[in-house]
Amino acid sequence: MKKYFFAVVFAFFATITLASDKGTWTGFITDDHCGVKSANESHAECAKKCVAGGKQAVLVVGDKMYKISDPQKVADFVGKKVIIKGELNGDAIDVQKVKKA
């Protein structure tokens, strides 16, 4: 019985550890409506209008798009290339630090 209990506890903590991934990402902050195709400086003004109009701010790295769990943390960087340090939970990044790239 103790072996079973410890196996379940170990599996639980292993799942939690694997569910989140700390890291650093470099990409463009843009809006989720235009997404990957708008991940460049020429789209900055449009991205700012879309985010101000209610679209979600996202980070685009290559052809991958990540949600931002707290969009206020990247509000000043919409349309810009940034470096984000944080934690990936599913498809959303919990931003700890953001700076212009």
| Residue 32 domain boundaries | 22-100
Whole-prediction pTM: 0.76
Q: Is residue 28 part of a domain?
A: yes
Residue 19: band (very low, low, confident or very high) from pLDDT cuts 50, 70, 90:
low
Is residue 65 a part of any domain in this protein?
yes
Q: Of the given ranges (8-12, 42-46, 49-53, 61-65), which has the lowest mean pLDDT?
A: 8-12
Please check whether residue 82 lies inside any domain of the structure: yes
* Structural domain contains residue 2: no
Exposed e or buried b per residue across 43-62, where buried means at least 16 C-beta atoms within 10 angstroms of its C-beta: bbeebbebbeeebebbbbee
Is the residue at 16 inside a domain?
no
User: Is residue 4 assigned to a domain?
Assistant: no
Confidence of residue 20 (pLDDT cuts 50, 70, 90): low
